[in-house]
Amino acid sequence: MSAPLHAGDASRLGGLSDLPSDYAGRVYAGVLGKVIGVYLGRPIEGKTYEQIAARLGDVDYYVHDAMGVPLVVPDDDITGTFTFVRAMEDHGDDPAIRAEQIGQSWLDYLVEGRTILWWGGLGNSTEHTAYLRLKAGIPAPRSGSIEVNGQVVAEQIGAQIFIDGWAMLHPGDPGAAADLAQRAASVSHDGAAVHAAQVLAAMEAQAFVETDIGRLLEVGVSVIPADSIIRRLIDDLREWHAVEADWRAARRRIVDRYGYDRYGGNVHVVPNHALIVMSMLYGEGDFGRTLKIVNTCGWDTDCNSGNVGCLMGIRGGLAGVDHGRDWRGPVADRLFLPTADPDRAISDAVRETDLIVGIARRMRKLEDVRPKGGARFHFEQPGSVQGFMADSASELPADAGAARLTLENVVGHSQAGARSLALTYEGLGSGRSTRAMTPTFFPADTGQFGTYALLGSPTLYPGQTISVRCESDTRNPVPVAVGLVIRHAGPDDRRTLRRGPFKTMNPGDVATIDWQVPDLGGQPVVDVGLELGATSADDVAQVSGAVYLDYMTWAGAPNVRLGRPVDGGTEWRRAWVNGVDDWPDRGEEPFRIIQNRGTGALIQGTRDWRDYGVEADLRVHMAIAGGLAVRVRGLTRWLALMVGGSGTVSLIRSSFDHRVVLAEAPGSIDATLPHRLRLEALGSRIRGFVDGQLVFDIADADTSSAGGAVALICEEGRIESGDVTVAPLAGTHETSGPPAHASPGHPLVDAR
């Protein structure tokens, strides 16, 4: 283990600690702990100890039902934690990433007023204040500094709530974790808030190799100044713990010495950090007991509980999370990450684990090994289900019923891995079936939750091919039919089941099933899964058995029309990430986009989309420019075919705060009339068309971000567009076209 050091010691940037052999499993436990903690504390956020005690007593399990809210919800603690750490991969997985670069990623991922942050206004919400500073051109770390924002604003709680992802990149190296935490936290915070984040980051890094709570706290305080208030409160709590056997007495002392009444702002870091430390001391290493204490104490429960859950998850691993109550079953690994990049809006704890592990390996120049060849659902983490749940809905006749299904992660039954998902059924027979489904889009009944909107796109589209590998248990008494199914939105937003190919599997059979998702008339896919059924319509005795899902995956560009479905509904609009000032639903055209200032984007798709063309009829009603973009990864990263209000057609790359005009054909068309735009990206070859004529055919030297979504781009004004179509391209990735300028022989003509 490397010795702890104070953050800011640049010497640490020269080397990286090795990854422990159990690294991925500990990260998964930390991710689970974070998610469980947030879901436990979210329904009672902001309530006092007295209010919680009067209504709920001790919070020793999920209380969402008692509080009348869903369990799995969008929350800034989860979204910020697993989004901001992506700045690392977006800036080359550089261990020396600068605060300024992390701030650039804030502007890329955040949709103002809608995602991740509490948008409470300048001087009221610390993160919103920092965002406005960044937007005004004040780079990090000044964007979060006491000098710019004042001490009260700069020392609120947010720095520590987003820190867990950064900490897990440095297992066993608390000094490096604290140093990275300082850079990440300083985008929005300063002073005591940054110190609290550094303490947590150091303890989480050390928790990969140390279990003693006292020693973890020693490591934590070693990375901050000895005269800091965070150091003082930790020292006080350790003294109180030595003489007070009851955590409630310690809580009373926190209220008296470090309570909310002593600090300004809405949610100051000091009182809440004190509760985190107190719960660790009195939790005695038990995951459930520690969460119970920190949540029953009140104040910023989801933030405190999320940090404690992550730390305790890393410390005790999956065995610690699984000790006592069933924390994992109701969650089923599910989480939402609404940002300007729709790629991970629908995610799960395993997928976020793979992200962090991949970054950590690339930071160390290690091979980025992905389980089962990078399959989307691989179930390699013990106990993981990756959002799969038994489906309670059934399209069978009312008198037929459905078989019972239980899901369990088990060892074996995998071709390229160690684990699989067992689908164990009971009561399967004639007229009876059962399904296991996982979400590919937001549930219909999940909308805005506080200030956190559900912005994101489906993960699965028509034209993509789903692939699964299954095994039938050797002990199954009779063959079982196994098939792929999806559910998609339909008229009046009702869910419609669509079945793909089925295979009859005899006991012990192995089968791979592939299905290209058919055209759905513009409706989004909302669930995907496996259906198990009897193999004959004849009366068959109800039987029990099991089928093992080794993996499920899909990738590549879709073949899809993105626009108003012919059979109606509103879900198609939810499938777009709305990063514009206004997108009214007027009915005349599917896309009327208004951007009052700067550049806005209406985005759909995922980073899996590669080698495709996008096409739409677009009119620049009154705007500086409008156009179509490919390889979109956020609000500020895209490649676009743009039409200026003056009639200039350009090919532009935007990369964070830097824009480059790759090619331009000035003043050639009447932009106020509709024009058919088409943009193709095939490897390094980029081609742009206007009204069927080839305008640009260039070799793009930057293919580092070859995958990404599509977008309609509007720069200050109003544009209109018809349906957007996306289709895969096939052929060589070698560029044979002319240099980067308007293509000779294909001049733009005046459309008037």
| Banded pLDDT at 742 (limits 50, 70, 90) | very low
Q: How far apart are the first and last CA of the chain?
A: 72
- Report pLDDT digits (tens) over 436-459: 999 999 987 665 566 677 899 999
User: How far apart are alpha carbons 651 and 741 in whole angstroms?
Assistant: 9
**289 CB-near residues (< 8 Å, 6+ apart):** 282, 283
Query: From CA 33, how far away is CA 294, in angstroms rounded?
Result: 14
Q: Which residues, 6 or more positions from 143, have their beta carbon under 8 angstroms from its beta carbon?
A: 103, 130, 133, 134, 187, 188
Q: In degrees rounded to 5, what are phi and psi of residue 713?
A: -105, 135
Retrieve residue 5's tokens.
């050091």
Mean pLDDT score of the chain: 91
> How many CA within 13 A on the CB side of residue 67?
20
Type and span of the H or E element at 241: helix 229-243
User: What CA–CA distance (Å, rounded) separates 117 from 114?
Assistant: 8
Which burial class, exposed, middle or buried, applies to 411 when counting CB atoms under 10 A from its CB (0-12, 13-18, 19+)?
exposed
Q: Mean pLDDT across the stretch 549-571?
A: 94
CA distances in angstroms from 350 to 326, 356, 357, 656, listed in the order given? 18, 10, 10, 28
At 455 the three-state DSSP class reads coil
Question: Would you say how long the chain is, in residues?
Answer: 752
Is the distance from CB of 548 to CB of 422 less than 8 angstroms?
Answer: yes
In the prediction, which pLDDT does 496 show?
94
pLDDT of residue 475: 97
At 401, the pLDDT band (50, 70, 90 cuts) reads low
Lowest mean pLDDT among 121-125, 132-136, 488-492, 523-527: 488-492
Determine the average pLDDT of the residues in 138-143: 98
Closest-CA residue to 427 (of 544, 505, 545, 548) = 544
d(CA 128, CA 143) in angstroms, rounded, equals: 11
CA distance 479 to 426: 14
Report residue 7's pLDDT band, with 50, 70 and 90 as the boundaries: very low
**Residue 448: its pLDDT value, please?**
55
Q: Is the pLDDT of residue 395 over 60?
A: no
Residue-level pLDDT at 2: 32
Lowest mean pLDDT among 308-317, 375-384, 486-495: 486-495
- Interior/surface letters 483-493, b for 16+ CB within 10 angstroms, e for the rest: bbbbbbbbeee
Yes or no: say if 575 and 549 are a contact pair by the CB < 8 Å rule.
Answer: no
- Amino acid 653 reads R
pLDDT of residue 706: 83
pLDDT of residue 430: 79
- Token pair 């640009």 in the structure block, residue: 696
DSSP-derived letter for residue 18 is P
Reduce the DSSP state of residue 229 to 3 states and report it. helix
Q: What architecture is domain 576-728?
A: Sandwich (2.60)
Tokens of 19: 């990854």
Categorize the per-residue pLDDT at 704 as very low, low, confident or very high, splitting at 50, 70 and 90.
Answer: low
Cα–Cα distances in Å, from 605 out to 300, 355, 476, 564, 708?
A: 34, 19, 40, 16, 7
More confident of the two residues 176 and 703: 176
pLDDT digits (tens, 9 = 90+) for 728-737: 998 643 333 3
Note the Cα 43 to chain centre separation in Å.
21
- The token duo for 685 is 């070859």
Q: Are 365 and 177 in contact (CB under 8 A)?
A: no
Could you tell me the two tokens for 316? 């005790």
Which amino acid is it at 680?
Answer: E
pLDDT at 443: 85
639: alpha, beta or left? (left if phi > 0; alpha if psi -120 to 50): beta
What's residue 394's pLDDT? 45
Q: Which of 16-20, 108-112, 514-518, 667-671 has the lowest mean pLDDT?
A: 667-671
pLDDT, residue 452, reads 72
- Read off the pLDDT of residues 227-262 as tens digits, 9 standing for 90 and up: 999 999 999 999 999 999 999 999 999 999 999 999
Residue 402: pLDDT over 50: yes
Return the pLDDT at 540.
59
pLDDT at 523: 96
**Residue corresponding to tokens 């003056």:** 646
CB 526 within 8 A of CB 489: yes
SS3 575: coil
Half-sphere exposure of 144 (CA within 13 A, CB side): 27
The CATH T-level fold of domain 389-553 is Jelly Rolls (2.60.120)
**Residue 668 in this model has a pLDDT that exceeds 80:** no
Give burial (CB, 10 Å; 0-12/13-18/19+) of 399. exposed
Residues 256-298 pLDDT 10s: 999 999 999 999 999 999 999 999 999 999 999 999 999 999 9
Amino acid 731: pLDDT:
60
Q: Which stretch of 75-89, 129-143, 541-555, 701-715 has the lowest confidence by average pLDDT?
A: 701-715
pLDDT digit string (tens) for 178-209? Answer: 999 999 999 999 999 999 999 999 999 999 99
Parse the chain into domains and list their residue ranges. Answer: 22-343, 389-553, 576-728
- Is the predicted pLDDT of residue 399 greater than 80, yes or no? no
Question: How confident is residue 79, by pLDDT bands cut at 50, 70 and 90?
Answer: very high
The runs of H, that is alpha helices, within 529-617 are: 571-574
Structure tokens at 240: 């109180």
State residue 730's pLDDT score. Answer: 81
Q: Please determine whether the domains at 389-553 and 576-728 fall in the same fold group of CATH.
A: yes
Q: Which of 673, 685, 572 is nearest to 630 (CA)?
A: 685
Look at domain 22-343 and name its CATH class: mainly alpha
For residue 537, what pLDDT band results from cuts at 50, 70 and 90?
Answer: low
> 702: closest CA among 643, 752, 634, 653?
653
